[in-house]
Amino acid sequence: MKIINFDALYDVFVKEFISAKKGKYTESELEDLQPKLYEKFSSLKIKNIGNLTPSEYYDSQKDKLLDILKEHIRREISINDFLLSALSKHISEDILIENLNENFSSEYLLAIITVLSIKGSKKAINRYIDLLFVKNLDKETEDALVELLKDEADIVAKYLNEKLADFYPNSICEVLSYCVNEKSVASKILQKEFEKNLDKIPEYVSYIVKLDDESALDILYKAIESEEISYIDFKELKLAIEALGGYYEKERDFSFDKNYKLLKGE
């Protein structure tokens, strides 16, 4: 299968432009020109691909686009915007969602997620959520999914309210912390996960504070009273309690805590 590296061709196009205009533009001005140069390249008829523009080339390959994407990844060729745009134009939403399979590489998943994002897909949301429950999902894919789902946090909460689980990954908790209209569902899950992860108090308490639901104060008071928490955890809990409108004034002795000693210069 013939694979065209359009990013490499664009680099050549830019170098030829700079050479032809040598000394006319500063480095900063050339940087500002990039969008216009890319637009010009987009409409360029390229001889060795049948005198087609990049978009026209992919239109002519519309039945092979997913295979072309896989070849880009296999050969470690950068995935260009023209290919992503063509995938969005020619591959159905349902087929793209079917390709959100954890058995594919992270590069492939990220490309499919990007294409679905270009389409503005809402149908993919449930699959995004399910992917976050996959063990050992790579961090880059997880971060991309969290970023997409943050703006759909209320939909995520509704879905999870119907799909009860024994375990919710921290990525899901992060998404739920952005809920606006479904705070009661989100808070229930976040409080449950907080109590199960008392070895990670700073991380999980941050989700509770972001959700800004004062119903969580009871579990925070319970946690801060524990004699087993560290000085750092104590400080995080105290700040969280205050952020949710509560207060905690009890004096505690952390002279045994190494972080306390370090912070006090002992």
- In the prediction, which pLDDT does 49 show? 93
Mean pLDDT of 51-65: 97
CB-CB contact of 72 with 83 (8 Å) = yes
Identify the three-state secondary structure at position 75: coil
Angstrom distance (rounded) from CA 221 to CA 227 = 12
User: Who has greater pLDDT, 265 or 156?
Assistant: 156
Mean pLDDT of 173-185: 97
Span 72-86, pLDDT tens digits:
999 999 999 999 999
pLDDT attached to residue 265: 63
Residue 262 pLDDT class (50, 70, 90 cuts): confident
Residue 246 lies inside a defined structural domain of this protein: no
> 53 lies in a domain?
yes
CB atoms within 10 A of CB 124: 23
Q: Considering the chain, what is the average pLDDT of its residues?
A: 94
Q: Is residue 244 part of a domain?
A: no
**Is residue 41 scored above 80 in pLDDT?**
yes
102 contact partners, CB below 8 Å, separation of at least 6: 109, 131, 134, 137
CA distances from 105 to 70, 98, 232 (A): 10, 14, 38
Residue type, 193: E
Question: Which tens digit of pLDDT belongs to each residue from 13-29?
Answer: 999 998 888 878 888 88
CA–CA distance, 90 with 83 (Å, rounded to integer): 10
Number of structural domains (the chain) is: 1
Q: Which phi and psi angles does 257 have, rounded to 5°?
A: -85, 130
Q: C-alpha dihedral over 161, 151, 111, 96, to 10 degrees?
A: 50
Range with the poorest average pLDDT among 96-100, 250-254, 257-261: 257-261
Is residue 21 in a domain? yes
Instruction: Grade residue 210 by pLDDT with cuts at 50, 70 and 90.
Output: very high
Share above pLDDT 70 across residues of the chain, in percent, rounded to a whole number: 99
d(CA 132, CA 168): 9
Q: Is residue 173 assigned to a domain?
A: no
Q: What is the pLDDT of residue 131?
A: 97
**Backbone angles phi and psi of 37, in degrees to 5:** -65, -40
Domain that includes residue 8, residue range:
1-88
Within a domain: 1? yes
- Residue 128 scores a pLDDT above 80: yes
- Cβ atoms 141, 106 nearer than 8 A: yes
137 part of a folded domain: no
